[in-house]
């Protein structure tokens, strides 16, 4: 490839980024136009308070959408927010409703039929579209990149206030990393297993400073829901941006959704979207390849997503690790998780199972879990929290709720729920969970609680047996 063609070749990130630059500063931060700003109740009241104190109004209020999800109870929702027993949680939910009314922002609140987790309903409603720059004060904003959007997390206070006031954002263009995944995954090896395998390989800082583009035959064969799971956990690999080029699967998923262009506008948009995929001869700053056919279902054993291994494996022995820093981190993780080196992962008992979160609570996830539990009974308390009210309605129309209830699961309303526990759904100290969430940090699901992350099918298998279980054995 000669120098001229190298200059002409662009990645998808290059193309979308260039479309949004207002003030370029080579080598430094650039001022970018924000097409869509998503906010939720967690911490955003600080930015509203600053706006109010400074006498500011939103530059383009119609380009901001507020969603109640993090603090929203997953039970007894018909009683209204006044029935939320914890006054702090109740106040945070009410503040978002009050702030959005004052500042003229559309709000998908607790009683809205569109309610759901922000990163679930944005694609579901057709708000997420290829080529858009989407900002959200949430670390898992990269989820939206599965449809070819440039979606990035921003801070709750100053950065959000800047978007509110100017509809722009100062950002430094990241380096670019391509992760190519080829091969046909084996039985019950899902998008969650693939992304956990990536993080286990490169570590939680492996993609730091980079935007990740996921490519390859395996990605192309995935549904949009699976792609959303992949991009969702880009942040757990250290990246703030994860993207997948739009294709016919993307366009079929998007067509006809409420906020999508219609008629001639759809045709015009489609013509633009087809220009977005990276050029064939483009070069990336880093490359990684993964053979999906070699993978097994994954589970985490430690206190970081990189502490993950095939369910057929064992808890690692720190004594076998030469690097002292890594050895010390494994020792601390095993001490917190109350696990002995060499323990078979499939022998670890759990106290509770949670199926939910912006990572794995879409209809395909619930179908996969229901397939495992059909005709069986849970051995430990277990709960399913759909990712949106629409997902819940669809699952009930398909009879999935009846399968879960017959197996002994709790069937709850849409909420972030036990992913971070902001709404009070928490484990007790010393309890261990099998969870479809994206993080297993110390105290993530409650002080002293221990979290093992995995796919919905694997979590369902753990619910049936009461321990971490290879779903392929069921």
pLDDT in tens, 250-260: 999 999 999 99
Supply the pLDDT for residue 206. Answer: 97
For residue 1, pLDDT beyond 50:
no
Instruction: Count H helices and E strands in the chain, helices first.
Output: 16, 19
Confidence of residue 144 (pLDDT cuts 50, 70, 90): very high
Q: Give pTM, 2 decimals.
A: 0.96
Supply the pLDDT for residue 210. Answer: 98
For residue 6, pLDDT beyond 70:
no
Q: What is the pLDDT of residues 78-93, one digit of tens each?
A: 656 656 888 999 999 9
For residue 5, pLDDT beyond 50:
no
For residue 265, pLDDT beyond 70:
yes
Cα separation, 320 vs 327, whole angstroms: 8
For residue 71, pLDDT beyond 70:
yes
Q: Look up residue 279 and give its DSSP letter.
A: P
Cα separation, 84 vs 64, whole angstroms: 27
User: Hey, what are 196's tokens?
Assistant: 């956990």
**Which of 405, 451, 402 has the alpha carbon at shortest distance from 428?**
451
- Mean pLDDT (the chain, rounded): 96
For residue 213, pLDDT beyond 80:
yes
Cα separation, 248 vs 381, whole angstroms: 41
Supply the pLDDT for residue 84. Answer: 84
CA atoms within 13 A on the CB side of 369: 41
Confidence of residue 3 (pLDDT cuts 50, 70, 90): very low
**Which of 342, 300, 345 has the alpha carbon at shortest distance from 453?**
300
Supply the pLDDT for residue 216. Answer: 98
Q: Look up residue 317 and give its DSSP letter.
A: -
Supply the pLDDT for residue 8. Answer: 80
CA atoms within 13 A on the CB side of 159: 19
Cα separation, 103 vs 55, whole angstroms: 11
For residue 289, pLDDT beyond 80:
yes
Q: Which of 22-26, 69-73, 214-218, 373-377 shows the lowest per-residue confidence on average (mean pLDDT)? A: 22-26
C-alpha separations of 347 from 78, 200, 343, 432 in Å: 40, 21, 7, 13
Supply the pLDDT for residue 76. Answer: 80
Query: How far is C-alpha 206 from the geometric centre of its chain's CA atoms?
Result: 18
Cα separation, 422 vs 70, whole angstroms: 6
The proportion of the chain whose per-residue pLDDT surpasses 90, expressed as a percent, equals 93
C-alpha separations of 277 from 15, 20, 64, 216, 229 in Å: 9, 17, 27, 13, 20
For residue 77, pLDDT beyond 80:
no
For residue 412, pLDDT beyond 80:
yes
Contacts of 395 (CB under 8 A, 6+ apart): 363, 366, 386, 401
Q: Which backbone phi and psi does 137 adopt, to 5 degrees?
A: -80, 60
Give the dihedral sign, CA 425/428/433/439: positive
Q: What is the pLDDT of residues 291-341, one digit of tens each?
A: 999 999 999 999 999 999 999 999 999 999 999 999 999 999 999 999 999
Supply the pLDDT for residue 2. Answer: 44
**Which of 271, 203, 211 has the alpha carbon at shortest distance from 243?**
211
Q: What is the pLDDT of residues 220-255, one digit of tens each?
A: 999 999 999 999 999 999 999 999 999 999 999 999
More confident residue, 294 or 43: 294
User: Hey, what are 380's tokens?
Assistant: 């430990």
Q: Which backbone phi and psi does 107 adopt, to 5 degrees?
A: -130, 120
For residue 427, pLDDT beyond 60:
yes
Supply the pLDDT for residue 81. Answer: 63
**Which of 365, 364, 414 has the alpha carbon at shortest distance from 385?**
414
Cα separation, 6 vs 2, whole angstroms: 6
Supply the pLDDT for residue 83. Answer: 67
C-alpha separations of 143 from 16, 90, 127, 140, 385 in Å: 16, 28, 13, 6, 19
**Beta strand residue intervals within 216-351, DSSP E:** 241-243, 286-291, 298-300, 308-310
Supply the pLDDT for residue 82. Answer: 57
Supply the pLDDT for residue 79. Answer: 59
Supply the pLDDT for residue 80. Answer: 60
Calculate mean pLDDT across residues 405-429: 96
> Which domains, and CATH codes, for the chain?
13-173 (3.30.499.10), 175-247+278-294 (3.40.1060.10), 298-473 (3.30.499.10)
For residue 43, pLDDT beyond 90:
no
Burial group, residue 158, by CB count within 10 angstroms (0-12, 13-18, 19+): exposed
C-alpha separations of 131 from 73, 115, 146, 148 in Å: 34, 25, 11, 6
């Amino acid at each position: 490839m000669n120098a001229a063609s190298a200059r002409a070749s662009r990645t998808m990130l290059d193309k979308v980024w260039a479309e949004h630059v207002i003030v370029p500063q080579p080598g430094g931060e650039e001022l970018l136009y924000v097409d869509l700003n998503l906010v939720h109740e967690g911490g955003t009241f600080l930015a509203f308070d600053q706006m109010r104190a400074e006498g500011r109004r939103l530059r383009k209020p119609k380009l901001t959408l507020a969603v109640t999800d993090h603090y929203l109870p997953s039970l007894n929702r018909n009683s209204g927010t006044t029935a939320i027993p914890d006054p702090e949680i109740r106040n945070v939910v009410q503040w978002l409703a009050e702030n959005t009314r004052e500042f003229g922002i559309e709000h998908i609140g607790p009683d809205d039929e569109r309610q759901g987790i922000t990163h679930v309903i944005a694609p579901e409603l057709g708000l997420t579209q290829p080529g858009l720059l989407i900002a959200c004060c949430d670390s898992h904003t990269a989820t939206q990149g599965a449809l070819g959007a440039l979606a990035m997390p921003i801070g709750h206070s100053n950065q959000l206030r800047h978007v509110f006031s100017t509809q722009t954002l100062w950002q430094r263009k990241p380096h670019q990393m391509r992760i190519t995944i080829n091969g046909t995954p084996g039985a019950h090896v899902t998008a969650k297993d693939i992304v956990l395998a990536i993080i286990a390989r490169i570590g939680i800082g492996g993609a730091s400073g980079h935007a990740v583009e996921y490519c390859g035959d395996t990605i192309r064969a995935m549904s949009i829901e699976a792609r959303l799971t992949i991009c969702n956990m880009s942040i757990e690999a250290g990246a703030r941006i994860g993207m997948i080029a739009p294709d016919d699967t993307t366009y079929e998923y998007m067509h006809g959704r409420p906020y999508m262009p219609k008629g001639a506008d759809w045709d015009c948009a489609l013509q633009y979207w087809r220009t977005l995929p990276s050029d064939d001869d483009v070069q990336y700053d880093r490359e990684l390849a993964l053979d999906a056919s070699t993978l097994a279902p994954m589970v985490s054993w430690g206190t970081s997503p990189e502490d993950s291994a095939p369910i057929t494996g064992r808890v690692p022995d720190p004594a076998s690790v030469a690097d002292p820093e890594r050895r010390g981190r494994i020792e601390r993780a095993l001490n917190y998780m109350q696990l002995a080196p060499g323990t078979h992962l499939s022998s670890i008992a759990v106290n509770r199972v949670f199926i939910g979160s912006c990572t794995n609570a879409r209809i395909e996830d619930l179908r996969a879990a229901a397939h495992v539990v059909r005709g069986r009974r849970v051995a430990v308390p277990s709960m399913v929290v759909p990712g949106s009210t629409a997902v819940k309605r669809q699952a009930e129309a398909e009879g999935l709720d009846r399968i879960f209830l017959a197996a002994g699961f709790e069937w709850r309303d849409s909420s972030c729920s036990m992913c971070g526990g902001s709404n009070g759904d928490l484990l007790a100290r010393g309890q261990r969970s099998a969870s479809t969430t994206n993080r297993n940090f110390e105290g993530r699901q409650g002080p002293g609680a221990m979290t093992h992350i995995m796919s919905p099918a694997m979590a369902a298998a753990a619910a049936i047996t009461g321990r971490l279980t290879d779903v392929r054995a069921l």
